A = this chain, B = another copy of it.
Amino acid sequence: MLDELKRVAAEVDRVLEHDDFPAAIVPQFLREAVVDYPRRGGKRLRPALTVWSCGALGGGESRALYPAVACEVFHNWTLVHDDIIDDDDFRRGAPTSHKQLQSVAGREMRLTDDAQIRFGRDFAILCGDLQQAWANSLLLKAPGVRAEVLLAIAARMQSFANRELVSGEALDVAMSYIDIDRLRPDDVERMFEKKTGVLFQFCVETGAMIALDSTTNDHPQIIPLAEMAMNAAVAFQMRDDYLGIFGAHGKFGKPIGSDIAERKVTMLLLYALESLGEGGKKELLSFFGRPDCTAEDMEKVRTIYRESGALEKAAARAAERTAAARAALEKLPESPYRRSLGELLDYLLEREV
C-alpha cells in the first residue's frame, strides 16, 4: 500500500506544483503561505481515498486527480484556521502558518511583539480563505468530468464538506468552553463524524460520483464506500486519542499525555467520568489541564482509565466502527483499488505512530 500511496502523493505534488491559482496572489509572503501547507506533504490520505474510490468503481484514475488535490487543499485550509484557533506552534514538523507569517513580520518589518502576533494571525485568516477558494478552483477545473456531475460535487463541497466539517470544528472548539459535566462520550463521537468523517466521506463519494458519472451520492455502489470512509475516520480519531494516552513514548507523533495537559476532552475521559464516584472524578480532573504532569501522574491516569472500564468501553466503540468500515469495504467488487483501500484501513486503524 505504501508504494501505491507514494504514487498518488507524487501525482498530487505535480498538480500542486503546476496549478496556476497561487501565482497571482499578492503580497508575495501571502502567496508563499498559501502553498506552504499543501506542499509540506503529509500522507495524502484524502487524495488517495478519492483516486482509489474512483478506480474501485471502474473510473479512470486521472479523472479524479484534480478533485483529489482539491480535497487535500480543502483539508489544508481547515488546518490553517484550526491552528490559529488552537494557537498551535507546529504542524508537520515546521511552524504553523500563523507562526510562520509572524516570523515574516519579525524579519522584514520593525514591529512590536504584539503587532507581529497580530500580523501572523490576520494574514493566516486570509491564507485559509484563499486556500478554500483554491480547493474549489481545483475541483471546478477537473478535466473529463461532465459539467452536471462537477456541479453536483461542487455543491456538496459547500453543503457537506464545508458546512458539516466547520460545524464539527465549532463543536470541538465549543467543547473546550462547556462544563465537562454536560458532555457525554457520544458528543465526542458525533464531533469526530463531522470534523474528520465528513471529509473522508466526501473524498470517496467524489471519486465514486466521477467513476459512475453520477450527479448524486445516493447510489447503491457509493453508499458502502461512504460508510467505510465515515467509520474509518471515526475509528482513526478514536485510535488517536488512545495513542495519546497509551501510546509508546517517542513513537507516537505527539508527547504522550499532552491531551491531558491541554484539557482535551476525549471519549476515554468522559467514559471514566461517567462511571467514577465523586472522589475518583475529582482525582482524575486534578490532572486535567496541568502542564506539569509527571510520568507517575500519567500512569495514574492510565490506571483510572483501565480500572473504571473507560478503556474497555472506548476500545469496544473503536472496534465496532473499525469492523463497520471493513464490512462496508467487503461490499465492493474485488480489485487492486479495493486492496489499496483495505491496506489504508489497516494503516489507519492499527497504527502505533
Number of interface residues, chain A, beta carbon within 8 A: 49
- Whether A27 pairs with B105 at a CB distance below 8 angstroms is no
- Whether B174 pairs with A130 at a CB distance below 8 angstroms is no
Task: Return the contact of A163 from the options B25, B81, B154, B178 (Cβ within 8 A).
Answer: B25
Residues in B with CB closer than 8 Å to A162 are 129-130, 132-133
Q: Which of A44-52, A134-142, A276-284, A293-301 contacts B (4 or more CB under 8 A)?
A: A134-142
A100-156: which residues lie under 8 A (CB-CB) from chain B?
105, 109, 111, 115, 119, 122-123, 125-126, 128-130, 132-134, 136-137, 140-141, 147-148, 150-151, 154-155
Task: Return the contact of A158 from the options B26, B85, B109, B140 (Cβ within 8 A).
Answer: B140
Most buried by B among A122, A167, A174, A178: A122
* A164: interface (CB < 8 Å): yes
1/0 contact string of A160-182 vs chain B (CB within 8 Å): 00111011011101100110000
- Can you name 16 A-B pairs with beta carbons within 8 Å? A26-B171, A27-B170, A81-B125, A84-B125, A109-B177, A111-B177, A115-B177, A119-B177, A125-B125, A126-B170, A129-B166, A130-B163, A133-B159, A147-B147, A147-B148, A147-B150
